[in-house]
């Protein structure tokens, strides 16, 4: 029932799974936070380092500017591959 846990706690910023390893719910919580920040809904959100899910994922040093940098680099790589494959 990993998906069920992830669905129920997707915006449960303080939620901490009782499992020792990172879980799907941790990824979903951090992804939800990124999505909200990216859509301008960041007012009142906790900082990443305050999220149990973020800590369980090993403190990936993710923040808004780092996320944007990663997305920009990923977009650049996708564009390069598209050009190589002549996909438009």
Terminal C-alpha separation, the chain: 39
Distance in angstroms (rounded) separating the CA atoms of residues 70 and 37: 15
Q: How many domains does the chain have?
A: 1
pLDDT digits (tens, 9 = 90+) for 38-58: 788 878 888 888 889 888 887
Looking at residue 88, what is its pLDDT?
Answer: 57
Structural domain for 10, as ranges: 2-85
Q: Residue 60: which pLDDT band, with cuts at 50, 70 and 90?
A: low
pLDDT digits (tens, 9 = 90+) for 9-31: 888 888 988 887 888 888 888 88
Looking at residue 5, what is its pLDDT?
Answer: 81
């Amino acid at each position: 029932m990993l998906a069920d846990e992830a669905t129920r706690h997707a915006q449960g910023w303080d939620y901490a799974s009782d499992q020792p390893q990172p879980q799907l719910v941790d990824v979903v919580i951090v992804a939800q936070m990124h999505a909200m920040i990216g859509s301008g809904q960041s007012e009142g959100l906790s900082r990443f380092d305050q999220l149990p899910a973020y800590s369980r994922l090993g403190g990936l040093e993710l923040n808004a500017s780092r996320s944007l940098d990663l997305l920009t680099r990923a977009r650049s790589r996708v564009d390069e591959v598209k050009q190589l494959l002549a996909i438009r």
